[in-house]
Structure 1
Amino acid sequence: MAIIFRAEKYFVDNVKQCSLLAEEMFLVYFQIGEIYIKANKRELALNYIQQAEQILNDYTGKKEIPTKGDIYFLMASSYHSVENLDKALFYYEKRVQSLPFDYNQYGFFYYLMSDIYYDKKDYFMSISKCKIALTFLHNSPSMDYIFAYLAYWRTSLTYSTIKNYTYAFIYGEQSLKYCLLQNPIDYDNFIFYYTCSAYSLWKSKLWNVEKPLNYILKAIEFTEYSLTDKTLSCLYRDIGFFYFINEKYEDALVSYSKSLEYSKISDPLMINLIYAHIWTVYIMMGEFNKAYYIVKEAIDSNVNVEGINLFLISQLYINMGITHYRFGEYQLALEYYHTVLQFLDNFQNNETNEIYNLIYNYIGLLYFEYGNIKDAMNYCIKSRNIIYSCNNESISPINTYVSLGLVECKLKNYSNALNYFGQAWEFIYNTHKQYHPAHKILYNHIGYVYFKLGHIKIAMKNYLKTLSMYRIYPKHPDLAQVYKNIGLIFEQDVHNYPIALLFYKRALELIPNNKHPHYILYENVIKTLQVKMKKKIIILID
């Protein structure tokens, strides 16, 4: 039986021919799907979205559904939410085909398509769609600044993802320009994108660490506007990082402290990240006592929180282990490392994890200090194997290469030692990580190998290079081994015992405490030399 619906103005045989009912039924199923999307129940959401889509496909009426273009947009955004990217693209393209000619609207939908291609990891197509979007937007007699800023930012992000940081910075700058043309201006978003651009600038020329520092410092002028505590915390954290890589450690500490002031107790990840940065700065400054107290404070704050994050605790325990290692408290350091291994073994059995790489390396160093060279080598090799077995750029091989070099030197395999130290040096310079904690002392290790090979001039040149790199912190405990090594040259090669004694005593003064194994070792070196000097005097008298 044919029925006439007023909306259709003609007879229909069933509801599938009624545009009004089709639209209403579509919206019912679609809205249920949206509810499930918000509840993160993807399968149920997809089921209702597909039922909504089926209503569209089943519609056979003569009259076009009035809101068909808007429906395409809704379908695209919903399919994007449930990660059915091909369907999302399909409906965005249909929406573009049904658009009235409006440059801003075309620009916006091409931006949305670029977003889909980015999620599909088709980065070049994402950039292409963004550039089409920008072309439409720039042709508009009244450009929509929000759409422009979004399109420029998506292009910047995509270039950053494919590691073209020069273009990432260029497009990021344009994004910032249009962000400031909005009314009202979202200054929190602006600061976020500004700091991202600072990182792009840095990564485009890693050797020029001063330029991104000067760039990000300009962001401070925007702190006069109303910004959230999270934005301020992240900004000062990032400023602290750029001070750090410029080796301006006191300024870095000031910025990190400000970041900590704005951090929320409810965000333990951010707080622990800042604590870790502060700890690293204190280690670089040779302030081991302050490093100890900052990591202890971080551990205590995490232990007293419900739902302990074992990943965070593991990182903190590693830092505490390193601190005890610096104090010469090797047994305590080993206990912290073994505790981390227990955490990892119980809660995630992935031995290619970056933390395993760190732990194996540091345990290897402890066995090296104990004189257990075989176990030291085994752990260092396990650390190296993790680096070789996984394609993870976040795992740096520098510490592992240095540790292997030390072990090979102890075994008198001097060519192997130089090879490992050389690999560490090459990685530092090829990746422009001159701010790495191992960089300065690496010259001392290289110098010692040359000393053992009898190349005294080369050895001394490397020792002096190390001293010059620590000139801002002349009392850094790391310099103890440098002064000891220079003393060895004056004792064993030059046979100038008084000068050697001066260097040994200077080395002893720099050891963190008198219970440190190196303190005891250096004391014995001094006593042995003093006995040798007395014997020489007796021989001269006789």
Structure 2
Amino acid sequence: MGEYSKALTSYERSLEIQKIALPPNHPDLAASYNNIGIVYINMGEYSKALSSYERSLEIRKIALPPNHPDLASSYSNIGNVYINMGEYSKALSSYERSLEIQKIALPPNHPDLAASYNNIGNVYINMGEYSKALSSYERSLEIKKIALPPNHPNLASSYNNIGNVYINMDEYSKALSSCERSLEIKKIALPPNHPDLAASYLNIGNVYTNMGEYSKALSYYEKAQEIFQKSLPSNHPHIALVKTNIDNVKKKM
């Protein structure tokens, strides 16, 4: 948290200088408000983040052409605040506005479009609208397959998200296939004790638990536990979570 307060002080100092040196709607001011918003969202101070991002957007609307990618970025950041605040309809409207601009401003398979479809999928899964979430995540994956190398970690993230939708829809064999694809990519793309690998083992364990295949579930939970213990502090919630899952699955065997 100390690093965030240092960053905040630095960005605010920079902003004060810019306010004196630059015209009131200069794009550099918007960038400073945006940076301040990023620090606040990382600190979990969502209302302050929102106010900074909105100030940044106001300036960009005056300073930039109507379909400039920086406007899309502002709407996306505002969406990020709303999703963290649980205000899903507002998040959706911000992400959709961002996507509209990106479709005009960017090439059709630009990674930023994939990120927007992914964000929209995140909103829909939180709203319990699983078929819409699935369609957004699949659109995101299609773009990533074109825009990124075949074993890029962002592809793993897409397969993981699709797996989560299938889990929520109780379609466990489809969930398993997506989660396993995610794991395959992570094994190639990441170091062997990376926490994201453990997260994949945990997800696959959850699918097997839901399928009633408890010995397979246990084996995946134990792999997750081994990596988490090597890569995370001992008091990390993920370690407690996987321990609970192991205890629960052992009771069912």
Question: TM-score, normalized by length of structure 1?
Answer: 0.39
**Whole-Å separation in 1 of the counterparts to 2:7 and 2:180:** 44
**Preserved CA contact (<8 Å) 2:124 2:133:** yes
- 1:225 partnered with 2:147: yes
Q: Which runs of 5+ in 2 are unaligned?
A: none
The equivalent residue for 2:83 is 160
- 1:216 partnered with 2:142: no
Q: Letter of the aligned partner of 1:164 in structure 2?
A: E
- 1:127 partnered with 2:50: yes
**Whole-Å separation in 1 of the counterparts to 2:192 and 2:98:** 31
Q: Which residue of 81, 85, 98 corresponds with 2:21?
A: 98
- 1:283 partnered with 2:245: no
Distance 1:161 1:141, change over 3 A: closer
The equivalent residue for 1:403 is none
Distance 1:145 1:291, change over 3 A: same
Distance 1:324 1:150, change over 3 A: same
Return the offset for 1:266.
Answer: 3.5
Return the offset for 1:250.
Answer: 1.0
Distance 1:90 1:265, change over 3 A: closer
Structure that is richer in helix per residue: 2
**Whole-Å separation in 1 of the counterparts to 2:115 and 2:75:** 14
Return the offset for 1:170.
Answer: 1.5
- 1:271 partnered with 2:197: yes
Does 219-228 or 253-262 show the bigger shift? 219-228
Q: Letter of the aligned partner of 2:140 in structure 1?
A: A
Distance 1:141 1:193, change over 3 A: closer
Distance 1:94 1:118, change over 3 A: farther
**Whole-Å separation in 2 of the counterparts to 1:104 and 1:184:** 26
Q: Which residue of 111, 114, 117 corresponds with 1:194?
A: 117
Q: Letter of the aligned partner of 2:72 in structure 1?
A: Y
The equivalent residue for 1:295 is 221
**Preserved CA contact (<8 Å) 1:213 1:242:** yes
**Whole-Å separation in 2 of the counterparts to 1:184 and 1:93:** 39
**Whole-Å separation in 2 of the counterparts to 1:318 and 1:174:** 41
Aligned-partner SS, 1:286: coil
1:31-63 Cα deviation digits (max 9, x unpaired): xxxxxxxxxxx8xxxxxxxxxxxxxxxxxxxxx
The equivalent residue for 2:70 is 147
Return the offset for 1:175.
Answer: 2.9
Q: Letter of the aligned partner of 1:225 in structure 2?
A: A
The equivalent residue for 2:251 is 325
Aligned-partner SS, 2:165: helix
1:71-98 Cα deviation digits (max 9, x unpaired): xxxxxxxxx8662635632430330332
Question: TM-score, normalized by length of structure 2?
Answer: 0.76
**Whole-Å separation in 2 of the counterparts to 1:251 and 1:142:** 44
**Whole-Å separation in 2 of the counterparts to 1:230 and 1:104:** 33
Return the offset for 1:140.
Answer: 3.9
Q: Letter of the aligned partner of 2:208 in structure 1?
A: Y
Return the offset for 1:214.
Answer: 2.4
Aligned-partner SS, 1:319: helix
**Preserved CA contact (<8 Å) 1:104 1:143:** no
**Preserved CA contact (<8 Å) 2:195 2:231:** no
**Whole-Å separation in 2 of the counterparts to 1:136 and 1:185:** 28
Return the offset for 1:240.
Answer: 0.3
**Whole-Å separation in 1 of the counterparts to 2:239 and 2:44:** 34
**Preserved CA contact (<8 Å) 1:113 1:129:** yes
Return the offset for 1:262.
Answer: 0.8
Spell out the pairing of 1:11-30 with structure 2 (5 A cutoff). none
Distance 1:185 1:325, change over 3 A: same
Q: Which runs of 5+ in 1 are unaligned?
A: 1-41, 43-79, 328-542
Question: What is the aligned-residue RMSD (CA, Å)?
Answer: 3.5
**Preserved CA contact (<8 Å) 1:179 1:185:** no
- 1:250 partnered with 2:173: yes
Distance 1:232 1:93, change over 3 A: same
1:112-144 Cα deviation digits (max 9, x unpaired): 344455467654454344334323323346468
Equivalent pairs, count: 244
Aligned-partner SS, 1:83: helix
Distance 1:292 1:161, change over 3 A: closer
**Whole-Å separation in 1 of the counterparts to 2:231 and 2:52:** 44
Q: Percent identity between the aligned chains?
A: 18
**Preserved CA contact (<8 Å) 2:8 2:36:** no
1:174-198 Cα deviation digits (max 9, x unpaired): 33444553479762x5544532332
Q: Letter of the aligned partner of 2:34 in structure 1?
A: Y
**Whole-Å separation in 1 of the counterparts to 2:168 and 2:200:** 15
